[in-house]
Structure 1
Amino acid sequence: MRRCFPFAIFASLLAGGCASSDNTPVNRSLDSFKGSSACYDRETEPYTPVVDTHLHYRPFDGRAIPFNEVNDYLSQTSVRFANVYGIGQMLPANSSCSNYLKCPGTPVSPTTRNDFVNAANMVEYKPDDLHLTLSMTFTDLSDPEPTVALMKLYEKEYPGLFHWMGEVNLVKQAQFNNRHKPATPKDITKWAGFMAELRARDYPITIHSDIGNNATPTLYLPLMEKALTLYPDNKIVWAHMGISYEQKSLDASEHIAILSRLLDQYPNLMIDISWRVLEDYYFSKFGNRSKYVAFMNRYSDRILPGSDFVAFRGNNFKVYQSELEATSRILQYIDDDAFRNIALGENYFQLLDLEYQAPVICQS
């Protein structure tokens, strides 16, 4: 059994850690991740992570849950660190559509609108009890030429606020009916300017790139491989392990072999396990759980957690709580080292060179 050391319980309660005397979980404070803190008791504390690296504070149509309300959702859970993604591809401002999937033919186009709203909200409403990392989501990977100039505009308007890029779409089949076209291999060669700028700033980039679909399992894999080959020194995060709703039946062993090969070949590549499509169609499928747990234990320093929650007004705290729980369910089964790296944020802190550290896991 994993229990907190007795001397740590009282101190951890003051810092927001471990559990109360009746074993009711007490979510940890942001300050408790500065320096050493009480050990983390996996039997009494949540298995949901302290970091949500894939969280969309803005929706496709601009009608968003208020910024402070989303922050309140995090404060009600275990999450103390989050990436503030917009959504870089938005519906037209004059469109009555709120769900692009129900509006085939309506364009979903790259824009800076959501990023600037997020930045303005960060300046006005920056919370004291959460650490938020603002991300640029505007870039069009199939038309990368304007990206560097826009990055410089962001820095001029909001100096020092942005520290990430993404989620940006290399290929997203879900938006094919809304005029999205995958970046071509030639387009990828033209990323050189902004990828160099990201390296100079030491910013990660999260890329949505579908591996394939049910009919052709690895149809689009060469696009991601092209990006990794050309930009091996960039910190690239592959969103959703490359999976989408268009690909619900890729064999787990084949999927893991693809990820393992690329992680071995490209030391700066990381993957995120956001979006419940992974839990619903892969992790929970009979016979798969142990395979993915073994994979996550092996590559535990290369994985980031995330909910992929989208803060449009039709959603609420219960939806966020449900998405966070579903995307975190597999974390119950990984080993202690992997849990500390992934769920307790050590990978995230290292990736961004933050002055925080994950607590150690309590030992019996």
Structure 2
Amino acid sequence: MQRIGRRLAVAAAALTAVAVIASPAGAGAGAPAECFDRATEPYTSQVDSHLHFRPFGGQAIPFDELNGYLRKSGVRHASMYGIGQTLPVDSTCTYYLDCPGTPVAPSMRNDFVNAANYAAAKPEDPELAVSMTFLDLNHPETIPPGISLYDKEFPGVFRWAGEVNLVKQALFANEHTPATIENIRNWAPFMKVLRERGIPITIHSDLGNDEEQTKYLPLMEETLRQYPDNKIVWAHMGLSKELATMDPDRHIAIMTRLLDQYPDLTLDLSWRVLEDNYFGKPGVRSKYAAFLDRYPTRAIPGTDFVASRAKDYAVYEEELEVTSRINRALGDRAFRNIALGENYYRLLGLREHAPRVCRTR
């Protein structure tokens, strides 16, 4: 009887193994993921942590169509931003830079559309983290009631906050003004909510401009000093079109100092401005790659694509490729954490893990 029992156990184990191999779901759940071969697989990022599903004005790319862009390009996770700072509903503009003098103000409009689309579709591929982008950092007293409204209308849907503007020089012609030190100190109530829920917040805060390169750095330093335990993501590493000529060594030194001082700070590598004005210049890519290799757990990728109906898949594909070029220069650990999404999963508290990178022979 013992011999028969052993034979049955062996047969059952064999059948189980066959089932796991034959079933994609079983393979994903019961077997370790295959390694990622950098020699044959794309270098483009598999997560897009900075993707605006809604435009500043005008028509948006339909929700299902944009999700199709992600699947087609190999992006399986994305943060679902709206645009918190919207053009007036009666404006004919689709982009704020085309309409100087037209006010651009924080609004809940895009967040509600995003949340409704998400709740109706409940997509699993791509897996989306819906973000609250209405936060008006100049009027922080309005934020806790807004979060309560979101909780009531869409319980459990919002898992990210931002992109929100601390200071964005590109919007100065549209009546945007930087938040003040006093404003920042009054963020405490809503930052407490985000901290308790483990919600990351992506903050756009320009370092400065070509004339005064660190003019606005004190604003982000005050934010980090006041809220060191919040998951703060610094959009575009503080760079912008207004700051195109900063010495990379100086920029890296600032980032290094702040990463060392504030363990919960994460750098956002989105927007092609980083590649066009910095990473792509002769001798500069290797400096940033070495920096990211020293801090492989402290950055996340993104496109900063804005889903205006005037764009199509070709535009998204290009933005993804351009913002992913830095990935090719990264060491294996940083590549796995950044391009393959491990840092993003950890930031969101997901149980998912990125595949390991295959060892080169």
- The equivalent of 1:316 in structure 2 is 312
Q: Which runs of 4+ in 1 moved over 6 A?
A: 11-14
CA distance 1:34–1:264, shift in 2 (3 Å): farther
DSSP 3-state at the match of 1:145 = helix
Distance 1:345 1:90, change over 3 A: same
| Distance change (3 Å), C-alpha of 1:338 and 1:14 | farther
- Please give the alpha-carbon distance, in whole angstroms, between the structure 1 residues aligned to 2:92 and 2:303: 27
Alignment length (residue pairs): 340
Aligned to 2:172: 176
Indicate the structure with greater helix content: 2
How far 1:50 sits from its partner (Å)?
Answer: 1.1
Aligned-residue identity in percent: 58
Take 1:35 and 1:235, find their aligned partners in 2: how far apart are those partners? Answer: 32
Question: 1:238·1:270 contact (CA, 8 Å) conserved in 2?
Answer: yes
Establish whether residue 40 from structure 1 lines up as the match of residue 30 from structure 2: no
Q: Give CA deviations for 1:152-204 in whole Å, capped at 9, x if unaligned.
A: 11011000000110000000000000000000001101100100010111101
Instruction: Give me the whole-angstrom Cα distance separating, in 2, the residues matched to 1:305 and 1:134.
Output: 17
For residue 67 of structure 1, the aligned residue among 55, 58, 63 is 63
- For structure 2, the residue ranges without an aligned partner over 5 or more in a row are 1-19
Q: Structure 1, unaligned stretches of length 5 or more?
A: 1-10, 16-28
Matched, 1:306 2:302: yes
Contact 1:142 1:182 (C-alpha < 8 Å) held by counterparts:
yes
Paired residue type of 1:191: W
Match of 2:128 in 1: 132
Alignment of 1:209 onto 2:205: yes
Who is 2:214 aligned against? 218
* Deviation larger for 208-217 or 124-133: 124-133
Cα drift, residue 33 of structure 1? 8.8
Within the candidate set 336, 354, 360, 1:358 is matched to 354
Q: Is 1:110 equivalent to 2:106 in the alignment?
A: yes
| Structure 1 pair 62–125 and aligned structure 2 pair: CA distance change class (3 A) | farther
Q: Which amino acid aligns with 2:155?
A: P
State the Cα distance separating 1:98 from its structure 2 match. 1.2
**Counterpart contact for 2:111–2:134, Cα < 8 Å:** yes
**Residue type matched to 1:237 in 2?**
V
CA distance in 1, matches of 2:232, 2:62: 30
Q: Distance in 2 between matches of 1:308 and 1:102?
A: 18
Cα contact 1:57–1:67 (8 A) shared by 2? yes
Q: In the aligned structure 1, how far is the partner of 2:307 from the partner of 2:70?
A: 12
Give the drift of 1:352.
1.1
After the TM superposition, which residues 75-154 of structure 1 pair with which residues of structure 2 at under 5 Å, given as runs? 75-154=71-150
Q: Distance in 2 between matches of 1:52 and 1:313?
A: 19
Structure 1 residue 126: deviation in Å?
A: 2.4
Tell me if the contact between 2:139 and 2:183 (Cα under 8 Å) persists in the aligned partners.
yes
Q: Distance in 2 between the 1:73 and 1:14 partners?
A: 26
Aligned 1:213-362 pairs, distance under 5 A: 213-362=209-358
Contact 1:54–1:83 (CA<8 Å) still a contact in 2? Answer: yes
Partner of 1:319, secondary structure, is helix
- Contact 2:58–2:92 (Cα < 8 Å) also in 1: no
> Which string of whole-angstrom CA distances, capped at 9 and with x for unpartnered residues, describes residues 338-360 of structure 1?
01110111111111111201111
Write the distance in 2 (CA, Å) between the matches of 1:200 and 1:129.
28
What is the match of residue 56 of structure 1? 52
Which structure has the greater CA radius of gyration? 2
CA 184–13 in structure 1, closer or farther in 2 if over 3 Å, else same: farther
Return the letter of the residue paired with 2:240.
Answer: S
CA distance in 1, matches of 2:290, 2:199: 29
TM-score, length basis structure 1: 0.91
**What corresponds to 2:160 in structure 1?**
164
1:248-295, CA deviations, whole angstroms, 9 ceiling, x for partnerless residues? 001000000000000000000000100000000100111111100100
1:14 to partner: Cα distance? 7.8
1:36 Cα deviation from its structure 2 partner: 2.3
Q: Is 1:33–1:357's contact at 8 Å kept on the other side of the alignment?
A: no
Instruction: State TM-score, norm by structure 2.
Output: 0.92
